[in-house]
Chain A
Amino acid sequence: MKVRDHQTIDLSRLYGLWQQGDPNNTPSDHLAEGNNFQFVGDDIESRDGLGISQTVAAPVENIFRAYNYPTQNANTLLLLEWDGTTGRIYHVVNASTVFLILSIVGMTDFAFVPYGGRAYISPFITYDNGDLKFQKGMQNETLYVYAGDGTNARAAAGATPAGVLTIANGAAGNTDPGRHVFGVVGETDSGFLSQPIALNSFITLANNSVSFNNVPIFAGPQWVKRHIVASAVIPTFNGNLEGYQLFFIPDATINDNVTIFLNNISFFDDELEEDASHLFDNYATIPAGAALSIYHDRLCLSTTYDDISLVLISAQGEPEAISQADGLIIVPPDGNPITNHGELRDIFYVDKRSRTVSYIDNGEEPSSWPMSSVDNSLGTSVHGIATVLDSGQTSSDFLIKATYAGIFLFNGKYIFPSLTWKIEGLWAEQDRNLYNKIQIINVPPKKCIYCVLPDYRILVGNYENGLDPKNIRWSTFSFWTIVNAIAVVNIDEIIIGCENPNPDLF
């Protein structure tokens, strides 16, 4: 035995964890085991240490969920704190500023999407269906909207008051003479327009304007405007006030929620261009769902308590205006709930846990959008689509999705093999009933993907060498506490939300 006839094995480059098949077959340039290490160029070193992120006297505790929340002027966070009974959502503006914005008994998770500086929040929880656990919106709960200013979040959309508009001829002016139907549309600070209310008809005169009284006052400080809507002249009125197309009268707006009259409004029928009739069909109360996304400037909400295959899609630019008639798409029911959705290259992809379909906005109402099947075996979980940087959104030229088969690049199809091909064993060990724990962020400045695993560790994929199954280098992080959520602020600051350790886990 020539003990000295050795040859050097170069360990200067190690390509991260390899947990696939027989451990004895781990390539010599990979790691059979490892934890709490990270890559610095070609080197390996201990991971970065954990530091506290809040300096307030009573930091938010027992965090179950965290999201990036870009407001109009800052990149902030939304956190869900759970005390065993009540879920509380906090808006963490910075290390020393935090607002409690929403408390709901039983809320253990929530969906979120930012829009126009506001936050849309949908509480959901996990339900049991036999051995299967799945997520859907909380019963009797609604979509919430938060203005981002520290005030309480409120239910999106809004209920309308009763009342009947009083209409009279005004001062000298002009209208197309004849019977019109008039009504009132309320507007909230988030731009939501109510359905027309207080409908009444009135015969206008050619040389007079119109005056309105008893304009209903809406309940709640979120109502900031009211608009008068009207039909064109009705040659033969059938008495059905809701049977005619209504339009916004130009400049017929009360810019408060106090004044009950608006006098001397002149208009001609050909000025009535902005349709308000569709508002009759809008949800006054939008049910809570398990997933939120934005597609073509529309808010998309899915997986309500009553229908796990339904996606509610708002009017373009009006995130709270969702038509109950044609603002809906139904993914073919198969017993599995919709888990997630998002836009990629103008296509709206909807996921279930093991299925992906797509829809294309054809310019018509959402209910008419054609569906295509993308993959009948792979889908993702409620937080399984990676958000990019601190945008809080999934938009990118590709999506990174966590599926039962691993983490995949998705560019309209799932690119095989998965990014986690080298650690298929580790991925297979994860409890599928806890896939709702998975939350992924993609941080290009660090060239890293961070994924919270169901076993409460963080899986880190370093793609400095390339974002492909071969070159990505995997490691895991663990802590003396339980990781539930992950987010990014300030481009590349990794934020981790932790739960009070549950002794049953050890």
Chain B
Amino acid sequence: MAFPNSGQIKIFPAGVSIISGQWALASDAQPQPNRPVSDLQTYYDARVPNVAVAPCLRRDTEKPPASGVYVPSGGVYELQFSASTIGLEFYDGAYPGAVAHTTDFIKADFPMGMTITSPSVWVNTQTLFGPFRDRNIVSIQFKYFGSTIATYAPGTGLLNGNQSSGSFSIIPVPGLTWSFIQVLKTFGFAVTCNVVVAGTLGDVRSINIECFILANYNTALLSVSTLRPEVAPGDMSLLESNNQSFDVFDPDLFQIYWDVQPGDTEDPEFPGMTGGVFIPRANIKTFNAQFLEFRMPTGLGIPYGGRRLMLVGTSINAFFVGKFPIQNYNITLVDGSGLYNLTPGKRNDTYYDRSSGPPTPTVDLRMPDPRIKTGYFNG
């Protein structure tokens, strides 16, 4: 095996090229929120020839209108794989010496949205020279952010005796979810290969460990432009009102409660609020100075006709410290009824907002997530 660059992630699907529409053609490549253009080239390796690409959901230059609240539409292109195996190859460069060896692979630009269901590791020590090239290896530990996720021990695993390569399954450690969506959102991705040797490896000139994390994919979801949470019925948007500005709050610290009641006396930290349902962070889709969009927790119904919403925030510019209620809102579903037309080339939806007027104002919203999901390949 020869790899042009050390330390890169390369993607090799067995049986199918996963290089498909989501990255589009080189000429169409656009900087994405999580992936610079330069990284795109990583995935256009010469060893993945003749890739036919469907330019999919290519709304790559969203431009907000001159006025109004607007969220880019984006889109999701979802590929499904079943039975097929996708190899995520982590390659460590030649390593001289005969001591324990640790290599981290941390890739924040790892493709998003993949869920590994049955990972395994393939180890190749064929570049280890010497008569005791394998026998001195006590174990090879695979760690995930410090937690051992699997251990290879010579003589007990598939990598036995003088075999130069083999594979075995990784048993996920409880509590560690092999969801690369989560991985990306929080830490990036990391695998540590820790080679533990007994004594020294005689006549060692190099150790070259190549790890293939082979994953059977139930669902591989690959983002086109931005990864968006699933939109479920019940999503709603709250528009800024009463000149209330959200941007003095740290968007990572604010909290939202729905259906609160005034006059709370039990919790002095939240005066004026009692009861209410906490809106989890994961349900918040968009939060900026003009726009708050979140998904209601399931089972609560829609607060049609007006309910209270309370934001609890923490200042990021020293205006205050701590949490306190910043706004009560009456939540109503905007009446967007009326006569519309499908406008060729238009990249967002414009609705009547009948909460005021006449004249009836309009509001620009992103269209409900445009998305497609293929059938299973080689299923």
**Residues of A at under 8 Å CB distance from B?**
1-14, 18, 23-37, 42-54, 57-63, 66, 77, 79, 92, 477-482, 493-501, 503, 505-506
Contact = CB atoms under 8 A, between A and B. Distances in A.
Contacts of A498: 336-340
B149 interface: no
B57 A45 contact: yes
B95 interface: no
B349 A59 contact: no
Contacts of A57: 357-360
B203 interface: no
Nearest to A18: B375
B350 to A, nearest CB: 5
A26 B375 contact: yes
A74 B264 CA distance: 62
Contacts of B378: 28
B338 A54 contact: yes
Given A33-B372, A500-B337, A506-B234, A3 B17 contact: no
A59 B53 contact: no
Interface residues of B, number: 78
Interface stretch (B35-43, B44-52, B169-177): B44-52
B151 interface: no
A46 B370 contact: yes
Given A11-B53, A43-B56, A495 B14 contact: no
Contacts of B122: 1
Contacts of B302: 503, 506
A1 B89 CA distance: 13
B269 interface: no
Ranked nearest first, the 4 interchain pairs of A and B with the lowest CB-CB distance are A26-B375, A49-B346, A503-B304, A3-B87
B85 interface: yes
Interface of B: 12-17, 20-21, 47-59, 73, 75, 78, 80, 82, 85, 87, 89, 122, 167, 212, 214, 233-234, 301-302, 304-305, 333, 335-352, 354, 357-360, 362, 365, 367-379
B14 A5 contact: yes
A14 B375 CA distance: 10
Given A14-B54, A31-B375, A506-B233, A501 B333 contact: yes
9 contacts: A1-B122, A6-B15, A8-B17, A33-B371, A46-B367, A47-B370, A48-B345, A500-B336, A501-B335
Given A3-B13, A11-B21, 11 more contacts: A1-B167, A9-B52, A11-B54, A11-B374, A12-B54, A13-B54, A31-B373, A32-B376, A45-B59, A50-B346, A495-B339
B335 A49 contact: no
Contacts of A505: 233
Nearest to A3: B87
Given A51-B341, A506-B233, A24 B52 contact: no
Prevailing SS type, chain A contact patch = loop
A23 B80 CA distance: 11
B85 A1 contact: yes
B339 to A, nearest CB: 4
B346 A51 contact: yes
A479 B58 contact: no
Nearest to A30: B375
Q: Which of B51, B336, B337, B347: most chain A Cβ within 10 A? A: B337
B102 to A, nearest CB: 24
B3 to A, nearest CB: 12
Contact of A59 (B78, B87, B360): B360
B379 to A, nearest CB: 6
Contacts of B350: 49-52
Nearest to B304: A503
Given A13-B54, A495-B340, A36 B360 contact: no
